[in-house]
Amino acid sequence: MPEGICAGRNRGRGLRALVLAVQAVGVLALGQPWGGLPAAWGADAPAGNAPVVTPSPASAAVPATPSAAPPAGAVAGAAPAGTAAGELGLFVTLGSAAQQNAGLQTGPAQVGALTGTIDAMAMIQPEASHLVRIHPAGAGKVLSVAVVPGQHVNAGDVLLTYQNHALHGVRLQITKAQAALSTAQAALQNARATYERGRALEGGAVSAGETRRRFTALRAAEDEVQARQADLDTLRHQLESEYNSVTESDASPNGRHDETSRIIAPSAGEVQTVGVGVADDIGPNTELVALADLSTVWIVSDILPQDAQRVQPGGVQVTVPEGQARTVLHSTITSIGYLADPATAGACHQPGG
């Protein structure tokens, strides 16, 4: 934004009041008069970096007569002898006490452009692509909840645990598949031994047709072992990928009868919402926790509609967090919402990345 957002207010009330008192548009100088005009105030003040206020050339013809006594800490003096009334200038020298009371700060003059500011309230929003909504792989009942909204977590931290009935079912299926595989392997060993004996007795006690039949049975036993092995591998993959992923882990991988699953944080971030409580029934469609990665965020400022025309994409937004005056965030305005937001009484949203 060309003018900036959320910038601090200037402490210049004392100086503005002083300029109004002398009834002229003042020019702030340090150390010496502007335009060679003599001093009306400050004849007895010490020289140095004291601020001096003089009338501009456009207002030099107007007599600059103070309407009241000099402010506290200022020293007034008479104009030098021989000075014409039309050439009188007005110089005000502020002592250290007056400068402190007025909140005046001095510094070296620099050439640059002055810009205005728009004060606005701002809030931080996470990027939509960095917001993770965690769902369970199975179905069951919530046993415990370990986090609350606003809490910061690290990758792998346990968010909640639940009784996973589907996990128990998968483990039972794995046990059944292992038994079926063992049976198929035993049948294969028997078929192989029978075929080997048939080949040894072929042409004598065993006919050639019987040997071919035994060979066919051997191939069928080998296929059965491969099928049972595939079933077991499928169930193990389901257990490892669905119930042990970046967002969920099996609490007891070696316990056949334990059906507890843990929901874990896939990355470091801040908990945005917790959608369930203890003893709630949940399923794959239930949103348990929303976790936001705050490494990149949006700073959204609410400004009045009449101020929206003063803001342009590409401008600078300066944000000072509440209670942290030493922390200043500089961001670039990327977009401006010109539609009024009912939630903010007609203010416009202005995101700054």
pLDDT of residue 58: 41
Confidence of residue 254 (pLDDT cuts 50, 70, 90): low
DSSP-based three-state secondary structure for 290: strand
Lowest mean pLDDT among 142-156, 297-311, 332-346: 332-346
Structural domains of the chain, with CATH: 13-102 (no CATH), 121-126+296-352 (2.40.30.170), 128-166+246-292 (2.40.50.100), 167-241 (1.10.287)
Residue pair 177/227 in contact by the 8 Å Cβ criterion: no
Task: Summarize pLDDT for 228-252 with one digit per residue, the tens.
Answer: 999 999 999 988 888 888 999 887 7
pLDDT of residue 197: 87
**How many percent of the chain have pLDDT more than 90?**
31
pLDDT of residue 327: 83
Task: Summarize pLDDT for 106-158 with one digit per residue, the tens.
Answer: 888 888 877 778 888 888 888 888 899 999 998 999 999 999 999 999 999 99
Question: Which has the closest alpha carbon to 254: 345, 335, 338, 174?
Answer: 174
DSSP-based three-state secondary structure for 145: strand
pLDDT at 344 over 90: no
Confidence of residue 80 (pLDDT cuts 50, 70, 90): low
14-23, 280-289, 293-302 — most confident range: 280-289
pLDDT at 206 over 70: yes
pLDDT of residue 86: 44
Question: Encoding tokens for residue 134?
Answer: 């965690």
Question: Which has the closest alpha carbon to 28: 7, 49, 58?
Answer: 49
Greatest Cα-to-Cα distance within the chain, rounded to the nearest angstrom = 151
The helix (H) or strand (E) run that includes residue 227 is helix 208-241
Q: Which residue has the higher pLDDT, 7 or 201?
A: 201
The helix (H) or strand (E) run that includes residue 292 is strand 289-292
Lowest mean pLDDT among 27-41, 88-102, 165-179, 207-221: 27-41
pLDDT of residue 87: 52
Distance between CA atoms of residues 34 and 22, nearest Å: 16
CA distance to 127, 144, 189, 269, 292, per residue, from 132 (Å): 10, 20, 51, 10, 6
Residue pair 67/24 in contact by the 8 Å Cβ criterion: no
Q: Which residue has the higher pLDDT, 276 or 49?
A: 276
pLDDT of residue 201: 84
pLDDT of residue 9: 36
For the whole model, what pTM was predicted? 0.52
Distance between CA atoms of residues 263 and 148, nearest Å: 14
pLDDT of residue 253: 64
What's the whole-number mean pLDDT along residues 63-82? Answer: 47
If you average pLDDT over every residue of the chain, what do you get?
Answer: 74
